[in-house]
Amino acid sequence: MYTSTMIKKLLRVTKVAVENIYFEDNNKGEICIIKVRPHIRETNRCPLCGRISPKYDSPNKLRRWRSLDWGTHRVYIESTAPRVSCKNHGVIVARVPWARHDSDYTRDFEQTIGWCSLHMTATDISEYYRIKWHTVGAIVKRVYDEIEASKPQSRFDNLVKIGIDETSYKKGHKYMTVVVNHETGALIWAKKGHGKEILTNFFEELTKEQRESIKLVSADGAGWIADCVKDFCPNAERCLDPFHVVQWANNALDEVRKNVVRDAKTDVAKGVTVQGGKKNRKSH
């Protein structure tokens, strides 16, 4: 296998030619630089619409995109970044096969960060991959936007059993409303705030057919959830979710325990003893 082919397989990039590979020392330690150029058919394309556009300039300055590490070495793809004049989007940096528009990271790197964000905190990700904390959120947003654009509204198709709840985040009693698909376990909708007005936004995003496919809705005892379900999914059966049922049972049991302890302390203070299920007051 030729070296350039092996490098492209390790980078998981196609439609490029590898021109050089070298190492460089900087303030972050030794890094690996892989210089590439796109195939001729991939040059001078708008990154937003993919249209071949006239070249606007030809900068000599090289640009770098961070890729996944090779062992302990940071890896960067290096190439020129000319601008094109798109008829629809104006002057803009030309598309490259290995990265999303307006990003300093390769697609492979961003896909990995997006997956890790489902299982790790942003702080852990930034520390492990040696990137800034706020960069994690920007990368996740780009990955999310691309997925949404490729599969518009598909997460709302074939909904049968959904769960609705509000949850707190950060501090200061800030809440957000979330909707999950019970059959897949996936989060399908979330928005800051809670109440009937917020939940109405979710149902309004669904088509008539998508709302009619919903048969079961689990939620807590909030009246505004019941009202929304009645308005938009009148044929759906509403049920209490197990989490809140267990929570309410535990709360009720805790209240009984508190009452028993309170009564017992009162009886002790009054000198009352219990024998055979009957209370007897001690004589002095």
Q: Positive or negative, the Cα torsion across 116, 169, 202, 233?
A: positive
Q: Does domain 154-240 have CATH number 3.20.20.70?
A: no
Give the closest residue to 214 by CA, choosing from 236, 181, 238.
Answer: 236
Q: Please state, in angstroms and as integers, the Cα–Cα distance from residue 151 to each residue in 97, 157, 250, 268, following that order.
A: 21, 11, 42, 68
pLDDT at 227 over 80: yes
Model confidence at 277: pLDDT above 60: no
pLDDT in tens, 58-105: 777 899 999 999 999 999 999 998 999 999 999 999 999 999 999 999
pLDDT tens, residue by residue, 192-210: 998 899 999 999 999 999 9
Q: What distance in Å separates the CA atoms of residue 103 and residue 121, rounded to the nearest whole number?
A: 21
Q: Which tops the pLDDT comparison, 266 or 209?
A: 209
Contacts of residue 238, Cβ cutoff 8 Å, sequence gap at least 6: 216, 217, 218, 219, 225, 226, 229
Give, to the nearest 10 degrees, the angle between helix 223-232 and helix 196-205.
30
Strand partners, 95: none
CA distance 202 to 189: 7
Does residue 284 carry a pLDDT above 60? no
